[in-house]
Amino acid sequence: MKKMTKFNMVLQHVVIPPVIVLLTACAAIASSPSLHDAATQGDVARIDECVKKGMPVSAKDKEGNTPLHYAYYYGRKEAVERLAAYGADATIRNKEGDNPQDMQKIAEAEKLLISGAQLIDMNGDWKDSASGREVYRKLQNIEGAIVTRAIVRKVLRAENRLQVLFLAVKLGISGSEKRLNDVVRDCGDKSMAEDYINSGSSALYNGGKEWAERNGYYISTGMGSHRVAWGRF
């Protein structure tokens, strides 16, 4: 059994650690059907062509997204209007429970997350605290569930993964802990697990502890990673 710490908590190994393999959930999503592609590109002529060929205007991809979800997410106003004119259903929810208009909010949150992540260094510190505070405040003003889903989407796509997770812990969104624990379970490493354990969140502590147990570590007191604190800018 390997060793983890709490003082800062440190993860220690007694045996050679297993290789961490990213799960399928972290892989890139396959390309979407052609009507979805047309909506993504905002190509209204191609949307017309697809509909004329009999393609269902509200067809779902494997994540439950319709072309209208894609049009809203990518800010393709003309595509949104054209799909609506063809009777696209704006009430359909994808597997995450998001309707097409929610995707617009998620896209906004993702842009802020990337901006914020670029302002955080590898130690979890702000490079520019004034700019960071502005992004932090804007994210706090968006519905927590929306920001949480945006965080998961960015992490699973490996876009500034570590810094996005740092920002997620700093934001300390109530109710986000389960999703964050899912992320560290599937895509985490030793340092991130230690950050969770030392974050000050009991829920994240449990997530880091679970990662440790799954990967042959145990928790002890020592110089563990403690780069960010729950809900603290």
| Number of separate domains in the chain | 1
Residue 137 burial by Cβ neighbours in a 10 Å radius (0-12, 13-18, 19+): exposed
205 in any annotated domain: no
Which of 14-28, 145-159, 168-182, 212-226 is modeled with the greatest confidence?
Answer: 168-182
Q: What is the CATH number for 51?
A: 1.25.40.20
Angle between helices 144-156 and 161-171 (to 10 degrees): 160
d(CA 36, CA 207): 36
Q: List the beta strands (DSSP E) in 72-223.
A: 217-222
84 in any annotated domain: yes
128 in any annotated domain: no
CA dihedral sign of residues 152, 180, 159, 121? positive
d(CA 38, CA 78): 11
Query: Hey, what are 102's tokens?
Result: 């929610």
Q: Each residue of 160-213: pLDDT tens digit?
A: 899 999 999 999 999 999 999 999 999 889 989 999 999 999 999 999 999 999
**pTM for this predicted structure:** 0.79
213 in any annotated domain: no
- Nearest to 201, CA basis, from 233, 167, 161, 173: 173
58 in any annotated domain: yes
Query: Hey, what are 127's tokens?
Result: 């490079």
6 in any annotated domain: no
Q: Each residue of 84-143: pLDDT tens digit?
A: 999 999 999 999 999 999 999 999 999 999 999 999 999 999 999 999 999 999 999 999
Report pLDDT for 17. 37
CA angle 16, 155, 6 (to 5 degrees): 50
- Better pLDDT: 21 or 94: 94
44 in any annotated domain: yes
Angle between helices 190-197 and 177-187 (to 10 degrees): 160
Residue range(s) defining the domain that contains residue 59: 26-95
